[in-house]
Each structure stands twice: as structure tokens, then as C-alpha cells.
Amino acid sequence: MAFALSTLRLTSPAFEDGGAIPALHTGEGDDLSPALAWQDVPEGTKSFAVICHDPDAPLVQHGAYGFVHWVLYNLPASTTSLEEATRAGTRGKNDFGKTGYGGPMPPEGHGLHRYYFWVLALDKATGLPEGLKLRDLLTQIEPHLLGMNRLVGTYRRG
């Protein structure tokens, strides 16, 4: 399956789709990953991955499209939610150069940014090592993608 939206639905009690991400979940706040929940999981799902990406980040800063804030994988099929500041799954490397979640922190004066939180349903249980970058993760999981969808939050640096 190509990277296309599916019937999988992703929500958060922290913010509505298209709404503002609370400071608690940003680099200006406590930098805690928000709680997430998903439903309408594709039949045959064996595991999940979660990604947070900011497509509005300056392109020249990292030589890639946008900025990756979170890469999380090896989540078993029984997982349909993540609590705030989750310790579930295996942490990949974000564009801050760290593993785990790094909250929104747009450059000073850069205006409103959109943050795409993605959940990806896979037809295979994964046992991938910690520290994968987004590109490496996608190379590994793309052949096993059953469905995916996103939740978009916004943030403007104060």
C-alpha cells in the first residue's frame, strides 16, 4: 500500500484536529508527548508506529523536508492509545539529535507551524532497534503498511 490516508482515526485529549497544541507538550513547556488514541484499525494489524513531523520548518536547516519531532515504533497491535509522556514502544531519533519526543519549538518570529502526528498500522510485528531516523524506519516498514492517518496540531512560539 502506498502512503495514503485510511479509515484509521487518530485523536488526542490534549488538542482537536487543527487546534493549538498546549504549551505542556512543547519545547517552551514541559516537552511531554501528548496522549493519543486510535480506532478503526485495519484488519490484520500486527503493530503500529507513531511519527510527529513539522512540514513548516525551514528546509535549509537540516537539508530535508521539514523537521521530525518524534519517531516511535515496535508498538504491538494491542496498543490503541498512548498516555501523556509515554514510555511505550521503541524510540527513534528526532531531528534534535535525541531519541524520543521533542516538542514544537519553531524558530523565533517564524509564525504558526503545523505538527502532523501520524499513526501507521503494519501487517508485521516489528523488533527494530532503538535510534532509527525517520527515513530508516520508513524504509523498513513501508512494505508492511496497512493504513495510516494523522492528527494535525498547531503551535506558535511565544
Phi, psi at 81, each rounded to 5°: -160, 160
pTM value > 0.75: yes
Phi, psi at 77, each rounded to 5°: -60, -25
Per-residue pLDDT, 63: 56
Per-residue pLDDT, 1: 43
Burial label for 11, CB within 10 Å (0-12, 13-18, 19+), is middle
Per-residue pLDDT, 61: 56
Per-residue pLDDT, 6: 80
Per-residue pLDDT, 157: 84
Per-residue pLDDT, 46: 96
Per-residue pLDDT, 87: 95
Per-residue pLDDT, 26: 94
Domain ranges of the chain: 1-117
Mean pLDDT by 10 residues, the chain (158 residues): 72 97 94 96 95 82 76 96 96 95 88 94 94 94 93 91
Q: How many angstroms separate the Cα of 55 from the Cα of each of 7, 68, 106?
A: 23, 9, 11
Please state which architecture CATH assigns to domain 1-117.
Alpha-Beta Complex (3.90)
